[in-house]
Structure 1
Amino acid sequence: MSLTSKIKRFWKSVGPGLVTGASDDDPSGIATYSQAGAQFGLMTLWTTIITIPLMAAIQQMCARIGIVTSQGLTGTLKKHYSKPILYVMLLFSTPAIIMNIGADIAGMGAVGNLLFPKIESSYFSVMFTIILMDLIIYLPYQKIAQTLKYLCIVMLVYFIVPFLYKQDLVQILSATFIPKIEFTKEYLAILVGILGTTISPYLFFWQASVEVEEMQHKKKHLMVNKRLIHAMEQDVDFGMGFSGFVMYFIILTTGTVLYSAGIHQIDTVEQAAMALKPLAGDLAYILFAVGVIGTGLIAIPVLSGALSYIYTETFGWEQGLDKKFHEAKGFYVIIMISLLLGLSMNYIGISPIQALIYTAILYGVTAPVLIGIILHISNNQEIMGEYTNTRYLNMMGGIALVIMTVAAVALGVLYY
C-alpha cells in the first residue's frame, strides 16, 4: 500500500475524536494558552503532558456511553439519575456555553479586523455567525463532519509558528518534562484556567451525542463490539493528542517570542497575534490569526451542538445534525438562539475576558460533578454491560476528578 493510500485510509478512519479535540483549542482557549506563555514563558509547557491522557480518558468514557447506550450523556443522566442533577447541569451549562460561544465569536471578529483593518470587527462577528448558522442548518451531518475535519488542518499552522523564531531546544525539553510551580495567585490562576479550558464539560456532552450520531449514520448502532470500541479509543486518543500538541505549540510560541520580548500581559487572541507581528514576522502573525478563525469555525458548531443535544435529550425532542430543519426544529432553533445570544454579548457590555472568567467558574463547578457521574455510569454493569471501564480509565478518571475538584476549590479561593 502506497503512502498516499495509507494517509487516505487513516484520514477516513478519523472520526468525532479529532473534531472534539480540535474544538477544545477554540479562540478562548488560545487566549488562555497565550496568556500562560506570555506571563510565565515556558513554565506551563509541562501541563500538556498531564492534560492529554486525562482528556483522552474522560472523552473515551463519554464515547463509550454513547456507543453502548445509543444515547447521549444527557439522555443517560435523565434515565438513570434524579432530575435535580440533570437540571443543575442544565442551569450551569447553558450560560457557560453561551458565554464561551460569545467569547469565540468576538475573538474571530477581532482577528478578522486585524487581517482586514478597513472592516470593523463587529461586521466580521456577524458574518461568521451567519455563515456558521447556514452551514449547521443546511449541511447534512456527514458534510458537517467532513468540513470540520478539514478545518482541523488549519490548526497545523500552530506547529509551524514556533519555528519561525529561534528556539533553545534544551530549555524547551526541560520545561516540558520537569514541572515548575510557583505558589502565587497569578500562576495558580493560569493553571486553573488551563485545566478549565482543556477539560471542559461541553465536550463530554458533545462526544457522547456525536458518537450516537456517527453510529446511526453508519447504521452500526446494533453492532457494538470490542473492535468498534478499540477504533473509538484510537480516534479519541488521536484527537486529544492533536489538541494537546496545539496547546503545547501555542504556549511555546508565546512563551519564547512574547515572554522573551518582555510582553507579559495578553488578554485576547488579537493581542497575541498583534504582538507576534513585529517580533516573529508577518508570516507568524498571519498564520496565528488564520488559525484563530479556523479553530472558531470548528469550536462554535461543537459548542452550540452540545447545548442543543443537552436540551433536546432533556425534553425528548427530535435531534440530530443528520436531520433536516423541519424534522428537528427544536434542535436547530436552540443552535440558532445560542449563536445569536453569543453574538449579542458583543453589544450588551460583557467583554470576552469577563465571559472567559464567568465560563471558567461555571465549568469549574460542573466539571468535577460530571466527571464523578461519568465514572459512576462507566462502571455500572446494568448500563454498560461488558464495556465498563478498564482499570486504566478508572485511574485516569480518578486523577481527573481529584485535579478538577482541587481546581474548583482553587478557583473559589482565587476569585472570592
Structure 2
Amino acid sequence: MSFRTNRAAPTNASSAALDTAHVGDIVGALGTIRQHDTGSRRTFWQRLRTLLVIMGPGLVVMVGDNDAGGVATYTQAGQNYGMGLVWTLALLIPVLYVNQEMVVRLGAVSGVGHARLIFQRFGRFWGAFSVADLFVVNALTIVTEFIGVSMALEFLGLSKYVAVPLAAVLLFGMVAMGSFRRWERFLFVLISLNILVIPMALLAGPKAGEIAKGFVPSFPGGLNSTLLLLIVAIVGTTVAPWQLFFQQSNVVDKRITPRWIRYERVDLWLGIGIVMIGAVCLMAAAAFGLAPDLLGNFTDNAGVATGLEQHSGRAVGVIFAIILLDASLIGANAVGLATTYTLGDVFKKRHSLHWKVRQAPMFYVGYALLLGVAASIVLIPGAPLGLITQGVQALAGVLLPSATVFLVLLCNDRAVLGPWVNSVRQNVVAGVIVWSLVLLSLALTAATFFPDLDISALKIGFGVGAAIGVLGGVAVWLLRRAAVRRETAATARALGGLDPEEVEDLAEDAVEALSRKERRALLWQDRMAWRTPALDTLDRPAFSPLRKAGLLTLRGYLVIAVVLVAVKVTQLALAVN
C-alpha cells in the first residue's frame, strides 16, 4: 500500500510531538505500516516483512558512520599501524549499541528530537551547551564529506570544481523531493554499494593471522600523543555525536512508535554489523594493499587510492574511490539532516522529509546552506584536507562524553520515558562508557602537554582513573539508594504510618509472587500504554549543585581538550610541511 498524502494526522494536544508530519503511517522504502496497526506478527515471514518496513534509521546512521572521515581514519590506522588497532573497533560495538538504543527509545516514546528534549527538560542554557558544539562539528564534518567527494572523483578523472557542486546539487535534490520514502530508497541504493568493501579487501591479499592478532589490545610503536590522537579519531568517527541527534530525529520522522522498538533494535544491529565489517575491510585494504614504502606514511584518501592502484592494481584503486564517494554522499546526507533536524527542534519549525520545500522552507534552506558553505571551503586551493579530516574526527571523539551525559540524563527522566527509563544495568554500562571516553580524552591531553610521557605513566593514569570511576559509581548508587528509601518512607506515611521496611517487604513479596513471564507481560503492557505527555505540562527536573558543578567542569575541560586537538593537528601539519 502506498502513502497518499504528505500531511500527517494532527498531533494530539496531550502528545509531545511538535511537527504534525511526525504522526501517521510508517512509510518506509520497502512498504507501509498503518498508524493504528495492532495486528500480531506470529510467523517468521510476517516479522521479516515488518522489519523491512521499519528498517532504515539504524542502517543509515551506522553506514553514515563510515563516511569520508571514517574511511580516512580506518585507512590511516591500517597504513600506519597495520591491523594493530582492530581491537578498538571491537570495544566500540557495545558503545555503539548502548548509545544508539537509548536514542531509539527516546525518539519512539517521546515523538520529538534529541535537541527538543534537552531544551525542554533542562532549559536554554543547557540546551545551548549541548548543541553549540554539534553545529560546529557537523559543519566541519560536512566539509570532510566534500573532501571525500573531490578526492574520489578526481581519482576517477573528474575535476573537483565540477564534482563538488554536482554532488551538492544531487544531495539537495534527493532531500528536497518532499517524500520520505523516495529519500530512504535513495539511501538504500547507496548503502547497498558497501558490499564492495569485501572484494576490495580480498584483492589486497589480507592475511587472516595478522587480522586475528589485531583483536588483541596493543599499542603499536608505544602509547604516545600521535597514536592517542588516532585512537580518539577512531572513537570519534565510529561513535560521533551527530549520530545521537540524527537517529532520534529520523525515528521520529519515520513515525516509529514504542510498538516497533524491537524491530528498530534489530535494524540497529544490522547497521552495526555492516559498519564493523566495512571498517575492518578498509583497515585491511590499507595494511595489505599498499607498497611497503607507503606503510606508515599516511597523507589522505587520495594517497591511499593512488597507492592501492600502484601496488594492487587499477581495480582496487577504482573500488576504493567508489567506496569513498559512496561513503561521502551518505555521510553528507545524514550529517546535514542531523543538523537541520536539530535546527527545527531548537526553533520549533517544521522539520520533516514528508514536507515539500514550500511547506518547510527553513528546514530545506538550512540544509542547502550547509551543503553550499561546506562545498565552497573544499574548493579553496591548498587546504590541508587530510589533516582537516583527522582533526574533525578527533574533535568528535573528545566532545562525545558531553553528548552522552545528556543522553543518560534523559533516559533516566521518568516524566519523559515512564516505564521505558534505563535499568540499573543500562546505567552501569552507560556510566562506564562515559567515564572511559573521559579518560581517553584526558590521556590525549596529558600526552600532548608532555610528549615524553612514557607508557607506564599513562597506564598508572588509566588505573587511577578507573579506581576513581568505581568509587564514583558506588557513591552514585548509594545516593540513589538513599533517594529510594526516602520515597519508600513517604509511601509508608501515605499508607497510614507503616514501617518503611514493611513497605519494601510488601513490594518485594508482590513482585516475587509473579513469574518472570508475568512480570515481563505487565512491564510490556505498561510500556505500550505510555507515551510522553506534552512537554510543556511537565515540571523540569531539578539540577543539584553537585550535578551542575560536574557538568560545568566537564564543559570547561572539553574546551581545553578541543584546543589541544587543534594544537596537535597544527603540529602534525607543520611536521608534514
TM-score (norm 1): 0.91
Name the structure 2 match of 1:205.
245
Q: 1:180 maps to what in 2? A: 218
Pick from 230, 242, 263: which aligns with 1:190? 230
Contact 1:41–1:259 (Cα < 8 Å) also in 2: no
1:409 aligns with 2:447: no
Q: Which residue of 2 aligns with 1:142?
A: 181
Q: 1:355 and 1:168, CA in 2 relative to 1: closer, same or farther beyond 3 A?
A: closer
Cα distance change on mapping 1:264 and 1:74 into 2, 3 Å: same
Deviation, 1:409, is 2.5
More helix by share: 1
Give the partner amino acid of 1:133: F
> Which residue of 2 is the match for residue 62 of structure 1?
103
Return the offset for 1:47.
1.3
Would you say the 8 A contact 2:234–2:393 is kept in 1?
no
Confirm or deny that 1:333 pairs with 2:365: yes
1:49 paired to 2:90: yes
Counterpart residue type for residue 145 of structure 2: D
Q: How does 1:27-176 map to 2 (within 5 A)?
A: 27-116=68-157, 119-176=158-215
Q: Relative to 1, partners in 2 of residues 1:61 and 1:351: Cα closer, same or farther, differing over 3 Å?
A: same
Checking the alignment, whether the CA contact within 8 Å between 1:89 and 1:366 is kept in structure 2 is no
Which has the larger displacement, 352-361 or 48-57?
A: 352-361
Aligned to 2:455: none
CA shift for structure 1 position 89? 2.7
Percent identical pairs in the alignment equals: 20
Whether 1:317 and 2:355 are equivalent positions in the alignment is no
Query: What RMSD over aligned residues (CA atoms) do the two structures have, in Å?
Result: 2.2
Q: Distance in 2 between matches of 1:44 and 1:151?
A: 27
Moved more, 126-135 or 402-411: 402-411
State the 1:260 CA deviation: 4.5
Amino acid of the residue matched to residue 227 of structure 2?
A: Y
CA–CA distance in 2 between the matches of 1:23 and 1:38? 22
> C-alpha deviations, 1:150-191, integer Å up to 9, x for none?
211111111221211333222221212x11123122221211
Residue segments in structure 1 that go unaligned for 5+ positions in a row: none
Residues of 1 paired with 2:195 and 2:49: CA distance?
18
Q: Give the Å deviation of 1:52.
A: 1.7
CA contact (8 A) 1:161 1:288 kept: yes
Determine if contact 1:381/1:388 at 8 Å carries over to the other structure.
yes
Q: Residues 39-93 of structure 1, C-alpha deviation per residue, up to 9 Å, x if partnerless? A: 0011011111111221111011111111111011001101101211211233211
- CA distance in structure 1 between the partners assigned to 2:394 and 2:90 by the alignment: 24
CA distance in 1, matches of 2:117, 2:48: 36
1:405 maps to amino acid: V
Counterpart for residue 16 of structure 1: 57
Give the stretch that moved more between structures: 161-170 or 326-335: 161-170
Matched, 1:386 2:433: no
Distance 1:391 1:145 in 2: 36
- What is the DSSP-based 3-state SS (H/G/I as helix, E as strand, rest coil) of the residue aligned with 1:319? coil
Q: C-alpha separation between the residues in 1 aligned to 2:360 and 2:432?
A: 39
Question: Is the alpha carbon distance of 1:179 and 1:358 closer, same or farther for their aligned partners in structure 2, counting shifts above 3 Å?
Answer: closer
TM-score, normalising length: structure 2 = 0.66
1:231-271 CA-partner distances (Å, limit 9, x unpaired): 11111111122112211111121122237554322232121
Q: Relative contact order (C-alpha < 8 Å, sep 6+): which is higher?
A: 1
C-alpha displacement at 1:18, in angstroms?
A: 0.5
**C-alpha separation between the residues in 2 aligned to 1:248 and 1:378?**
32
Following the alignment from structure 2 to structure 1, what is the Cα–Cα distance between the partners of residues 105 and 69?
28
Structure 2: which amino acid aligns with 1:179?
Answer: P
Q: Determine the C-alpha separation between the residues in 1 that align with 2:423 and 2:292.
A: 44
Looking at structure 2, the residues matched to 191 and 361 of structure 1 have their Cα atoms a distance apart, in angstroms, of 8
Once the two structures are TM-superposed, the CA of residue 139 in structure 1 deviates from its matched residue by 4.9
Deviations 1:287-313, CA, capped at 9 Å, x for gaps:
111011111121111111000011110
Query: Structure 1's 89 and 356: CA in aligned 2 closer, same or farther, altered over 3 A?
Result: farther
Query: Equivalents in 2 of 1:213, 1:50: separation in Å?
Result: 31
What amino acid sits opposite 1:14 in the alignment?
A: M
Unaligned runs of at least 5 residues, structure 2: 1-43, 449-563, 568-577
Query: Contact 2:77–2:283 at 8 Å: present in 1 too?
Result: yes
